[in-house]
A and B are shown apart, each in its own frame.
Chain A
Amino acid sequence: MTASAQTTSAQPKPTRVYYFGTCVIDLFYPGAGLAGMELLRRHGIKVVFPPDQSCCGQPARNSGFFDEARAVALRQMQAFPGTDPIVVPSGSCAGMMKTHYPQLFEGRPEHAQAIAFSRRVHELTAFLVNVLEVTLEDKGQPVSVTWHGSCHSMREMGVVDEPKALLRQLSNVTLVENPREKECCGFGGTFAVRQPEVSAAMVKDKIEALESTQTAKVVSGDCGCLMNITGAMEKAGSKMSGQHIAEFLLERTHD
């Protein structure tokens, strides 16, 4: 099921949003998490990070442990009361909350709550482009980058063009398309350890495709993919680096 990335622009722009950091960002890429909040703040939004949040529950749900996923999902819903939008710097976590929370609670007393919650969820770049309609001014040196869109961002959240639209706004950034862009990087959460050989083959092909662009850096909206891709790049001695789009945008647009 794909959730449209478009939010009806008939609504007035929000002045206050919640921010869901995601557990991968929490432990491994807090800078990216902060950058996302900072970007929103500098566009005049009050950003609130509820301290009770932890994880969207995707690892348990995808492993088929629905009760455990529900327990954690319920706590997230409780941590984000009210009606303010919830912005998420990850297409896969946003997808989990938007498409799978209602599914997880189908036939249960929390179903209505889950539906209402899911309607508030926005992936970060889609929020910046479609809701805030930001304009970005590039203050950085010329650089060429390539974009990696995560599978869940593209296929569950329908976020395909928004991140590239943001990158294209930056006048000194050359965005180079990479071949087989829509093919999975091989992370897949626990897939990377359950099917290590297949995962390794997939990430190897992915870094080859990214390196063929001869750019300095791969930018992505998903830190799970980034951990996979940059980890493989590092092990292979690649010259390419990787960065979350929030961090990249913040660096480019602020002194």
Chain B
Amino acid sequence: MTELPKGDFTLRAPAALNDPTLRANFRRAMDGLMTKRAAQFTDKEAWTALRERGAAAKARVVARLPELLEQLEANCTANGIQVHWAETTAQANDIVLTILQRHNVRTVIKGKSMVSEEMELNHHLQAHGIQAVESDLGEYIIQLAGEAPSHIVMPCIHKNKAEIAALFEENIEGLGYTEDVDALTAAARAEMRKAFAAADAGISGVNFAVAETGTLVLVENEGNGRLSTTLPPVHIAVMGIEKLAEKLKDLPSLLSLLPRSATGQHITTYVNMITHPRRDGELDGPHEVHLLLLDSGRSRVHADPELRDTLRCIRCGACMNHCPVYSRVGGHTYKFVYPGPIGKILSPQLEGLDCAGDQPHASTLCNACVEVCPVKIPIADILVRLRSEASHPSDSPAVKGAGSRANWRESWGWKGWATVYSIPWLYALAGFMATRFGNLMPASLGPLKAWTSVRAKPRFAAKTLHELAKEKGYCDE
């Protein structure tokens, strides 16, 4: 075994692990979310049938992606929704900025969108003199704190009441310090009302874009999504190219899976389906609706028949809620926009194995995520595949940065291991040496050092099972 180069995740993890407040906040939050989800899916048969349906719906999208995107564009366009395509986040930012500048927008009200985090959109707009105000309460809180979200559904899950109360006291005039949740919520509502009324444009994400009808489906609990997409005169929806539903009839199963998997709710307070901008005679709604389709590495993920299952994700967050690693280190340790198990398979593919190559290894392959994924993404298998890609260079790499973690010590180590383990007499000899002399190895040597920092040194037995089995006559046919 060898000293592998430490990636960002590995370097950031210890700080999170040693932060008792962070640990406590995440433990409490994840336990709660797991319990709530479990209460939704007590009927195993019903869960299985629903999940099969949802997984098939998203698998169909991935399999038919190019034609469905064309169908979506055609229908949206016929509906009056303007469709834009961006290969990179830089292009996406330019497109959004152009639209906003055309309308002399000064303030944008934003609904929650992980894709906009990928784009670092707020930062880009700020640099061009446009203020983007986050309207989702969780996003608003972290915007006040100047932090990134730590969970894809509950962005400020890493913060407790006291921390939030302090933030509000500091930033909301006249509020004072209170930990009363209703008071804090009312204060946020009042602040947001001003922002909603003043905003010149609204930007949102998309949960499902229905190709069949050219409809954008957004789910939320607070009402800020509806406000952001109804009150301002311009609405820009940004989405990854994979966030489609093929047909309207796929929505019931997907809507039955998403909120229940995410927060244990039967349904979100609002399901908002947008098909047209304001039409003649209507009194409200935006005059212009734009849909921005972002690639940013997804088409490369799509190119590999095994890895493309990553694109089924409906961003429920169940995987990270159940992940024993995520619940101990929190979302910020993952550095990139998407944390937890989905992050561990998506970030290396979007950012490259050279940047995020240690993330696929940040897993015991316990399969807790696999068990709860509502669209049956084979996360554990993809993690292993990415581990393989990272350590094997290729002439036509399937993943950005393939081979960037290749090192000759590891490669030769496994070759040697394979040799010993596939030649019976060599294996027997190795076993003999290990049992007779292995206990002499000092605890401070190589990989043993990491092990023995928390555990007693493993003790080799006096004889191998092979030897004992033979002695007892089990080797005779």
C-alpha gap A68/B419 in the complex (Å):
8
Residue in chain A with minimal CB distance to B381: A103
What residues of B have a CB within 8 angstroms of the CB of A184 in the complex?
A: 324, 364, 366, 368
In the assembled complex, A55 has its CB within 8 A of some CB on chain B? yes
B155 to chain A, nearest CB (A): 23
What residues of B have a CB within 8 angstroms of the CB of A200 in the complex?
A: 453-454
What residues of B have a CB within 8 angstroms of the CB of A138 in the complex?
A: none
Q: Interface segment, B96-104, B209-217, B465-473?
A: B465-473
C-alpha gap A159/B386 in the complex (Å):
28
What residues of A have a CB within 8 angstroms of the CB of B435 in the complex?
A: 27
Contact with B along A168-204 (1 / 0, CB 8 A): 0000000000000011101111111111111111111
Q: Interface segment, A59-67, A124-132, A247-255?
A: A59-67
Q: Interface segment, B59-67, B198-206, B240-248, B410-418?
A: B410-418
With A21-B469, A152-B367 known as contacts, the answer to whether A30 contacts B388 (CB < 8 A) is no
Give the A interface residue count (CB, 8 A).
Answer: 72
Residues A155 and B390 in contact, CB atoms below 8 Å apart: no
- Among A27, A68, A186, A228, the residue within 8 A (CB) of B415 is A68
Residues A28 and B387 in contact, CB atoms below 8 Å apart: no
Residues A193 and B451 in contact, CB atoms below 8 Å apart: yes
Residues B434 and A27 in contact, CB atoms below 8 Å apart: yes
Residue in chain B with minimal CB distance to A187: B364
C-alpha gap A47/B388 in the complex (Å):
37
Identify which of B324, B371, B452 gathers the most chain A CB atoms within 10 Å of its CB.
B324
Identify which of A61, A72, A195 gathers the most chain B CB atoms within 10 Å of its CB.
A195
B144 to chain A, nearest CB (A): 30
C-alpha gap A187/B475 in the complex (Å):
31
Residue in chain A with minimal CB distance to B424: A52
What residues of B have a CB within 8 angstroms of the CB of A161 in the complex?
A: none
With A151-B368, A188-B365, A235-B456 known as contacts, the answer to whether A64 contacts B450 (CB < 8 A) is no
Residues A151 and B367 in contact, CB atoms below 8 Å apart: yes
A252 to chain B, nearest CB (A): 21
C-alpha gap A151/B329 in the complex (Å):
20
A41 to chain B, nearest CB (A): 8
What residues of A have a CB within 8 angstroms of the CB of B459 in the complex?
A: 28
Residues B464 and A197 in contact, CB atoms below 8 Å apart: no
In the assembled complex, B463 has its CB within 8 A of some CB on chain A? yes
In the assembled complex, A232 has its CB within 8 A of some CB on chain B? yes
What residues of A have a CB within 8 angstroms of the CB of B472 in the complex?
A: 34, 37
Residues B454 and A64 in contact, CB atoms below 8 Å apart: no
Q: Interface segment, B9-17, B82-90, B110-118?
A: B9-17
What residues of B have a CB within 8 angstroms of the CB of A227 in the complex?
A: 458
Interface residues of A in 204-255 (CB under 8 A from B): 204, 227-228, 230-232, 234-235
Chain B contact-residue range equals 35 or more
C-alpha gap A242/B140 in the complex (Å):
49
C-alpha gap A184/B260 in the complex (Å):
24
C-alpha gap A204/B464 in the complex (Å):
30
Residue in chain A with minimal CB distance to B364: A188
In the assembled complex, B370 has its CB within 8 A of some CB on chain A? yes
Residues A231 and B465 in contact, CB atoms below 8 Å apart: no
In the assembled complex, A19 has its CB within 8 A of some CB on chain B? yes
A161 to chain B, nearest CB (A): 14
Interface residues of B in 401-447 (CB under 8 A from A): 410-411, 414-415, 417-418, 421-422, 424, 427-428, 431, 434-435, 438, 447
Residues B460 and A27 in contact, CB atoms below 8 Å apart: yes
- The total number of A-B Cβ pairs within 8 Å is 202
What residues of A have a CB within 8 angstroms of the CB of B438 in the complex?
A: 27
C-alpha gap A204/B453 in the complex (Å):
12
Residues A197 and B364 in contact, CB atoms below 8 Å apart: no
What residues of A have a CB within 8 angstroms of the CB of B159 in the complex?
A: none
With A65-B414, A193-B447, A195-B362 known as contacts, the answer to whether A51 contacts B1 (CB < 8 A) is no
Residues A197 and B474 in contact, CB atoms below 8 Å apart: no
Residue in chain B with minimal CB distance to A230: B456
With A152-B367, A156-B367 known as contacts, the answer to whether A26 contacts B466 (CB < 8 A) is yes
In the assembled complex, A25 has its CB within 8 A of some CB on chain B? yes
B382 to chain A, nearest CB (A): 11
What residues of A have a CB within 8 angstroms of the CB of B390 in the complex?
A: 64
What residues of B have a CB within 8 angstroms of the CB of A189 in the complex?
A: 364-365
Residues B466 and A155 in contact, CB atoms below 8 Å apart: no
Contact with A along B363-405 (1 / 0, CB 8 A): 1111110110000001001001111111110000000000000
Residues A19 and B361 in contact, CB atoms below 8 Å apart: no
Residues A198 and B362 in contact, CB atoms below 8 Å apart: yes
What residues of B have a CB within 8 angstroms of the CB of A65 in the complex?
A: 388, 391, 411, 414, 418
C-alpha gap A192/B384 in the complex (Å):
16
- Among A28, A51, A60, A75, the residue within 8 A (CB) of B458 is A28
Residues A28 and B1 in contact, CB atoms below 8 Å apart: no
In the assembled complex, A29 has its CB within 8 A of some CB on chain B? yes
Residue in chain B with minimal CB distance to A152: B367
In the assembled complex, A163 has its CB within 8 A of some CB on chain B? no
C-alpha gap A8/B146 in the complex (Å):
59
A175 to chain B, nearest CB (A): 22
Residue in chain A with minimal CB distance to B457: A231
In the assembled complex, A48 has its CB within 8 A of some CB on chain B? yes
With A64-B384, A64-B387, A64-B389 known as contacts, the answer to whether A198 contacts B13 (CB < 8 A) is yes
With A48-B477, A155-B366, A198-B328 known as contacts, the answer to whether A72 contacts B361 (CB < 8 A) is no
Residue in chain A with minimal CB distance to B450: A196
What residues of A have a CB within 8 angstroms of the CB of B411 in the complex?
A: 65
Residue in chain B with minimal CB distance to A55: B421
Query: Could you list some 30 contacts between A and B, CB below 8 A?
Result: A19-B469, A26-B465, A27-B438, A28-B459, A29-B461, A51-B475, A61-B384, A62-B387, A63-B387, A63-B410, A64-B384, A64-B391, A65-B411, A67-B418, A68-B414, A72-B421, A151-B364, A151-B365, A155-B367, A182-B368, A183-B368, A186-B364, A187-B364, A191-B365, A200-B454, A202-B364, A228-B455, A231-B454, A235-B452, A235-B454
**Interface pairs A-B: 7 shortest CB-CB:** A188-B364, A64-B388, A231-B455, A64-B387, A68-B418, A184-B366, A196-B450
Q: Which residues of B contact A (CB under 8 A)?
A: 1, 4, 10, 13-14, 17, 324-325, 328-329, 361-368, 370-371, 378, 381, 384-392, 410-411, 414-415, 417-418, 421-422, 424, 427-428, 431, 434-435, 438, 447, 450-461, 463-470, 472, 474-477
